[in-house]
Amino acid sequence: MSKIKKNKKNVFYDPSLKRRHFKSKLFKYFTLSSLIVSLAFLAIFFIDMVVKGSSAVQQTYVQVEVSYNEQSAENYRDAVDKKYLELLSRAVLREIPMQIKKNPSLLGTTKVAWMLADDQVDMYMKEYYYKISNKDLATLTELIENGRVEKKFNTIFFTHGDSKTPEYSGILSAMIGTILTLAVAMFVAFPIGVATAVYLEEFSEQNAWSEFLEVNINNLAAIPSILFGLLGLAIFINLFGFPRSSALVGGLTLALMTLPIIVVSSRAALRSVPATIRQAGYGLGLTKVQVVKDHVLPLAFPGIMTGSIIGLAHAMGETAPLIIVGMIAFIPDSPTSVMEAATVMPAQIFTWAGMPERAYIERTAAGILVLLTVLISLNAMAVYLRKKFEVKW
């Protein structure tokens, strides 16, 4: 400990005070710089995703004449002039025979239509790396000069599922699969988690059994997510025989992973209710069940909802456990029930990120932006509910 000294003005001072102030400022600037660096990395990531994903908002279309005849009803390659075939999306051309079968009145007609362009044409129009032959490039240049090539809003990305052709791939099936999966997870995890928290916090006695439950719940919250995927594979698929890749299996697996978070957050919310509320209820002659059901639980419900929404947002970003249960499959059509094969947005983004075509890069970034938007919305909802219904004692 430093000795107190006297300066020339006969004022007592501590020689170590200046050094302690310096260390305090140094620590303050260190923590501030750490925050700035973290925000800088976050900004760089977000800007990079916006730059790469913004081009996915638009898609290139080519205006050509489409002939609906007997030949095109059998072979889509006869529907348009052969010099345009390599410039158009095969996925759209393959729909022409089906259109004729659904509407026979189209036979014998020729229409001028805006057709979806091939992904290489789209990359050329967006000034990215492309692979187009010199012959097709000359045809494309002629079409551009005649005003028959345009970039339009990419509705396909939001209205279609996955596709082997990059220009025809979308995120709709992954979004619906995510909604079904999270609905199953919340339907299972929320009531069980809240009931467990109420029992441990309000009714259980402090004994070896309750301590054993608390230790296991806290440990479950720290287990790597991929282990929950292995557990879901062993129990729900191998033991119970639920359909692989279904939203039911994925939702139950995420429910196991979310359950500890809901229990811990719900217990914290219940613990925040003052003991005077319980004592006032007992003083009026209410039973313990009535006090918890009619007074404690309603007052703790905003905190319970906040923790549950945050747990739901955390589960939404998980990919590893869902890969284990098969939810990374190629799903072009949107699922209509929890028993059908489905995929989720993180798994869809993971799939696109591994594709070699340049067009999938912008779809990967656009998918990340959609996922971030949903996650930020869920967290904002949690903050709003906490602020709106928070009770200050």
- Per-residue pLDDT at 183 exceeds 60: yes
Where would I find the H helices in 284-393?
Answer: 288-291, 297-316, 320-324, 345-353, 359-389
Measured CA to CA, the distance from residue 126 to residue 308 in angstroms comes to 42
- Per-residue pLDDT at 11 exceeds 80: no
- Per-residue pLDDT at 241 exceeds 70: yes
The answer to which of 170-174, 274-278, 311-315, 321-325 has the lowest mean pLDDT is 311-315
- Mean pLDDT (whole number) for 40-66: 90
- Per-residue pLDDT at 14 exceeds 70: no
- Per-residue pLDDT at 15 exceeds 70: no
Which one, of 351, 315, 311, 373, lies nearest residue 181 by Cα? 315
Residues whose CB is less than 8 angstroms from the CB of residue 98 and which lie 6 or more positions away in sequence, other chains included: none
- Mean pLDDT (whole number) for 317-323: 84
**Which pLDDT tens digit goes with each residue over 104-145?**
888 888 899 999 999 999 999 998 888 899 999 999 999 999
- Per-residue pLDDT at 39 exceeds 90: yes
pLDDT of residue 2: 52
**Which pLDDT tens digit goes with each residue over 159-179?**
998 888 999 999 999 999 999
- Per-residue pLDDT at 264 exceeds 70: yes
pLDDT of residue 187: 92
Question: pLDDT band at residue 10, thresholds of 50, 70 and 90?
Answer: low
**pTM as predicted:** 0.83
Measured CA to CA, the distance from residue 2 to residue 15 in angstroms comes to 7
Residues whose CB is less than 8 angstroms from the CB of residue 194 and which lie 6 or more positions away in sequence, other chains included: 262, 266, 304
Measured CA to CA, the distance from residue 241 to residue 126 in angstroms comes to 48
- Per-residue pLDDT at 18 exceeds 70: yes
Which one, of 134, 133, 140, 127, lies nearest residue 64 by Cα? 140
- Mean pLDDT (whole number) for 58-77: 89
Question: pLDDT band at residue 88, thresholds of 50, 70 and 90?
Answer: very high
Mean pLDDT computed over every residue of the chain: 87
Going edge to edge, which strands form the sheet with 109-116? 109-116, 58-68, 149-153
The HSE-up count of residue 367 (CA atoms within 13 Å, CB side) is 28
Measured CA to CA, the distance from residue 179 to residue 185 in angstroms comes to 10
The answer to which of 18-22, 182-186, 235-239 has the lowest mean pLDDT is 18-22
Residues whose CB is less than 8 angstroms from the CB of residue 111 and which lie 6 or more positions away in sequence, other chains included: 65, 66, 68
Instruction: Identify the DSSP state of 341.
Output: B
pLDDT of residue 147: 92
Question: pLDDT band at residue 210, thresholds of 50, 70 and 90?
Answer: confident
- Tell me what percent of the residues of the chain surpass a pLDDT of 90: 30
pLDDT of residue 377: 84
